[in-house]
Structure 1
Amino acid sequence: MYHVYRYVVLFAASVLLGFAFNMFLLPHEVLSGGVTGMAMILGLLSPINSGIWLVILNIPVFIIGLMRLGKAFIWHSIFSVFVTSIAMQYIPVLKVAEDPLLSAVFGGVITGVGIGLIVRFNGSTGGADIIGLVVTQKRDIPLGVLIFGINSTVVFISGFVFSWNLALLTMASIYITGIVIDRIHTRHIKLSLMVVTTKGEELKNELIANLIRGITVMNGYGAYTNNQNKILYTVITRYELALVKYLIKNIDPKAFVSISETSEVFGNFRKS
Structure 2
Amino acid sequence: MHILLVIAGSMLVAVAYNFFLIPHEILSSGLSGIAIMLGIITPLNTGVLNLLLNLPLLILGVMKLGKRFIAYTILSVITLSIGLYIVPVIKLSTEPILSSLFGGVLTGAGVGIIFRASASSGGFDILAMLLARKKDFPLGALLSIMNAAVVVVAGFLFSWDAALNTLIAIYATGKVVDTIHTKHIKLTLNIVTSKGDEMCEKLLKSLYRGITLTEGKGAYSGENRFILMTVITRYQLNEVKQIIHDIDPKAFVNITQTVEVVGLFHRD
TM > 0.5? yes
1:164 aligns to 2:163 (yes or no): no
Aligned-residue offset at 1:215: 4.1
Question: How many residues get paired?
Answer: 257
CA contact (8 A) 1:118 1:125 kept: yes
Aligned-residue offset at 1:170: 0.3
1:216 aligned to which of 214, 217, 227? 214
Residue by residue over 1:216-244, the C-alpha shift from the partner in whole angstroms, topping out at 9 and shown as x without a partner, is 353465xxxx7879794512313333455
Please show how residues 39-118 of structure 1 align to structure 2 within 5 Å: 39-69=35-65, 73-118=69-114
Alpha carbons of structure 1 residues 82 and 244: separation in structure 2 relative to 1, 3 Å: closer
When Rg is computed on C-alpha atoms for both structures, the one with the higher figure is 1
CA contact (8 A) 1:24 1:107 kept: yes
Query: Whose RCO is larger (CA < 8 A, sep 6+)?
Result: 2
**CA distance in 2 between partners of 1:256 and 1:74 (Å):** 25
Residue by residue over 1:4-39, the C-alpha shift from the partner in whole angstroms, topping out at 9 and shown as x without a partner, is x33222212211111111122112221113322222
Unpaired runs of 5+ residues, structure 2, are 205-210
Determine the structure 1 residue equivalent to 2:124: 128
**CA distance in 2 between partners of 1:82 and 1:244 (Å):** 25
**CA distance in 1 between partners of 2:168 and 2:144 (Å):** 10
Alpha carbons of structure 1 residues 259 and 140: separation in structure 2 relative to 1, 3 Å: farther
Residue by residue over 1:91-137, the C-alpha shift from the partner in whole angstroms, topping out at 9 and shown as x without a partner, is 22223433322221222222223334435545443332222222333
Q: What percent identity do the matched residue pairs reach?
A: 38
Determine the structure 2 residue equivalent to 1:235: 230
Unpaired runs of 5+ residues, structure 1, are none
CA contact (8 A) 2:118 2:238 kept: no
2:258 aligned to which of 253, 258, 261? 261
Alpha carbons of structure 1 residues 201 and 97: separation in structure 2 relative to 1, 3 Å: same
Alpha carbons of structure 1 residues 114 and 195: separation in structure 2 relative to 1, 3 Å: same
Determine the structure 1 residue equivalent to 2:194: 201
Alpha carbons of structure 1 residues 27 and 145: separation in structure 2 relative to 1, 3 Å: farther
1:38 aligns to 2:34 (yes or no): yes
CA contact (8 A) 1:143 1:185 kept: no
Matched residue of 1:93: which SS? coil
Please show how residues 11-22 of structure 1 align to structure 2 within 5 Å: 11-22=7-18
CA contact (8 A) 1:140 1:271 kept: no
Alpha carbons of structure 1 residues 17 and 133: separation in structure 2 relative to 1, 3 Å: same
TM-score, length of structure 1 as denominator length: 0.73
CA contact (8 A) 2:135 2:266 kept: no
**CA distance in 2 between partners of 1:45 and 1:195 (Å):** 52
CA contact (8 A) 1:191 1:236 kept: yes
1:24 aligned to which of 1, 14, 20? 20
Residue by residue over 1:224-269, the C-alpha shift from the partner in whole angstroms, topping out at 9 and shown as x without a partner, is xx78797945123133334556757x9469x6846141522547x7
Aligned-residue offset at 1:89: 2.3
TM-score, length of structure 2 as denominator length: 0.74
